[in-house]
């Protein structure tokens, strides 16, 4: 069956253009038209009216949270960084987060995170799905779960969008798993990473390709092709009914709807004033956060923005300082814009990576993988900010108060969004599985 790209492309270019529309990637159930393409399928399901949104700031590689949110001044494990005051009494951040320090009253730091996986792949899967890889079960990621529960099926934009994900550690953890391709993310700037000295055109990569009809294809011709496709789909579906066929047809319908509407203009960051773009930082993460704000304004339920590489086995302190310069500027600008637009109270921000890093500083002035004691942050809608929950030992090696697991964190995020974490979905092996494992103990003291 022809792709939507083929329907809007001159006949001579049909064979060469298919991959450009499908480049968003297949992270759903593996059917032929995958990735964001199938994520647009509504599959006829009704979802509750979207009242909240979630922005996940994913720190790929494992951030050194002991240098950001839980400093150990005076101890040999503490390193050179100093703690600074925030606008919340008693809450301290690392010195390289001065912009976020002004928003401490809207942020809650979970300093008692303790998980068991120190391998990038398994830890990434665990933190994003709440589970470890198990047999043939295709566990959905956080984005798919949230978009299913609070996404608006009438939205012309996908309800789950992932910006600049670095998926090489575990591609399956970025998909919708057994929920189906209709909840898989639209992936923008897949596996694009901005490193020092590497020049990329951010505006080019933060776009969805092929949304506009080429000038050489007349509207009447495009409409005729779409009508022919619709007839073929209906005929095929009537003789070979299946969930894949229904999802495929719905995907085309939603993709066509997006192409024929003005919704795709949200990806055009040139519509923003230059000074507004400068506030976020003219880099991939900064502009990704700006795009996230624009998407939330348009009713998208879940947006993810990725920043890496935090895998600082060597030269940890210089690298963390550099990364904080990018993180602090963009996240503070995002908080400001959400507040000014009346969206902060309805937008939950989750900051996390796959694990933390060792309190002990190695011989290369680096920190290694450490899931035993680290920190995550929740901010914005549904969160009672201005506090840190959990406490690590003076040397940072163990959790002494309020140990928080992966499922505790995810259940807390769900409750902040108005989602029942105990709700079950039918898995691909026919077994009902809760959104978050029943063993979860939500951190209720930070829920507004």
Q: Can you give the CATH number for the domain in which 330 is found? A: 3.40.720.10
Cβ(416)–Cβ(106) below 8 Å: no
Prediction pTM value: 0.85
Q: What pLDDT score does 251 carry?
A: 62
pLDDT of residue 125: 97
Q: Rounded CA gap, 93 and 108, in Å?
A: 11
Provide the domain count of the chain.
Answer: 1
Which residues on neighbouring strands pair with residue 426, listed in sequence order?
432
CA distance 432 to 355: 28
Tokens of 54: 């979630």
- Location of structure tokens 């969805």: 208
Q: List per-block mean pLDDT (blocks of 10 residues) for the chain, which spans 448 residues.
A: 35 35 33 34 37 95 98 96 98 98 98 97 98 91 97 92 93 92 90 68 85 75 79 80 65 68 88 97 96 97 96 98 98 98 97 98 98 98 97 98 98 98 94 97 96
**Of the candidates 112, 155, 387, 346, which has an alpha carbon nearest to the alpha carbon of residue 264?**
155
**Angle, vertex CA 196, rays to CA 191 and CA 201, nearest 5:** 55
Contacts of 44 (CB under 8 A, 6+ apart): 246, 250
User: What is the structure's pLDDT at 382?
Assistant: 95
If we measure between CA atoms, which residue out of 383, 372, 375, 374 comes closest to residue 412? 383
Of 174, 147, 173, 129, which Cα lies nearest the Cα of 24?
Answer: 174
pLDDT at 334: 98
Alpha-carbon span 360 to 366, nearest angstrom: 9
pLDDT the model gives residue 198: 60
Is residue 301 a contact partner of residue 159, using CB atoms and an 8 Å limit? yes
Instruction: Write out the residue range of the structural domain in which residue 73 sits.
Output: 4-446
């Amino acid at each position: 069956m022809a792709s939507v790209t083929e329907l809007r492309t001159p006949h001579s270019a049909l064979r060469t253009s298919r991959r450009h529309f499908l480049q968003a990637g297949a992270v759903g159930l593996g059917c032929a038209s995958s990735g964001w393409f199938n994520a647009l399928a509504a599959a006829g399901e009704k979802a509750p009216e979207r009242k909240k949104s979630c922005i996940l700031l994913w720190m790929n590689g494992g951030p050194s949270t002991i240098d950001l949110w839980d400093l150990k001044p005076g101890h040999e494990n503490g390193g050179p960084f100093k703690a600074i005051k925030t606008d919340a009494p008693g809450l301290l951040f690392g010195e390289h987060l001065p912009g976020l320090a002004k928003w401490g009253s809207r942020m809650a730091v979970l300093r008692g995170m303790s998980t068991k996986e120190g391998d990038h792949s398994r830890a990434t899967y665990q933190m994003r799905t709440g589970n470890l890889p198990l047999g043939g079960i295709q566990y959905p990621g956080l984005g798919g779960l949230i978009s299913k529960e609070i996404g608006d099926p009438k939205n012309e934009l996908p309800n789950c969008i992932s910006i600049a994900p670095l998926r090489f550690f575990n591609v399956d953890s970025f998909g919708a798993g057994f929920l189906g391709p209709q909840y898989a993310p639209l992936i923008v700037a897949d596996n694009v990473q901005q490193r020092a000295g590497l020049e990329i055109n951010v505006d080019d990569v933060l776009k969805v390709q092929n949304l506009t009809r080429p000038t050489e294809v007349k509207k009447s011709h495009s409409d005729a092709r779409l009508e022919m496709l619709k007839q073929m789909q209906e005929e095929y579906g009537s003789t070979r009914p299946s969930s894949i066929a229904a999802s495929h047809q719905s995907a085309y319908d939603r993709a066509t709807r997006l192409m024929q509407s003005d919704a795709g203009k949200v990806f055009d960051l040139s519509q923003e004033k230059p000074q507004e773009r400068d506030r976020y930082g003219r880099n991939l993460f900064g502009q990704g956060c700006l795009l996230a704000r624009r998407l939330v304004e348009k009713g998208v339920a879940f947006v993810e923005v990725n920043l890496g590489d935090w895998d600082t086995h060597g030269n940890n302190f210089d690298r963390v300082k550099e990364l904080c310069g990018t993180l602090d500027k963009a996240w503070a600008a995002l908080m400001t814009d959400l507040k000014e637009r009346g969206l902060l109270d309805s937008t939950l921000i989750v900051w996390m990576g796959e694990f933390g890093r060792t309190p002990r500083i190695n011989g290369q002035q680096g920190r290694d993988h450490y899931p035993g004691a680290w920190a995550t942050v929740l901010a914005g809608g549904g969160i009672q900010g201005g506090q840190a929950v959990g406490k690590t030992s003076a040397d940072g090696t163990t959790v002494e108060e309020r140990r928080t697991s992966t499922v505790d964190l995810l259940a807390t995020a769900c409750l902040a969004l108005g989602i029942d974490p105990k709700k079950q979905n039918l898995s691909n092996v026919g077994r009902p599985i809760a959104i978050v494992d029943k063993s979860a103990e939500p951190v209720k003291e930070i829920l507004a």
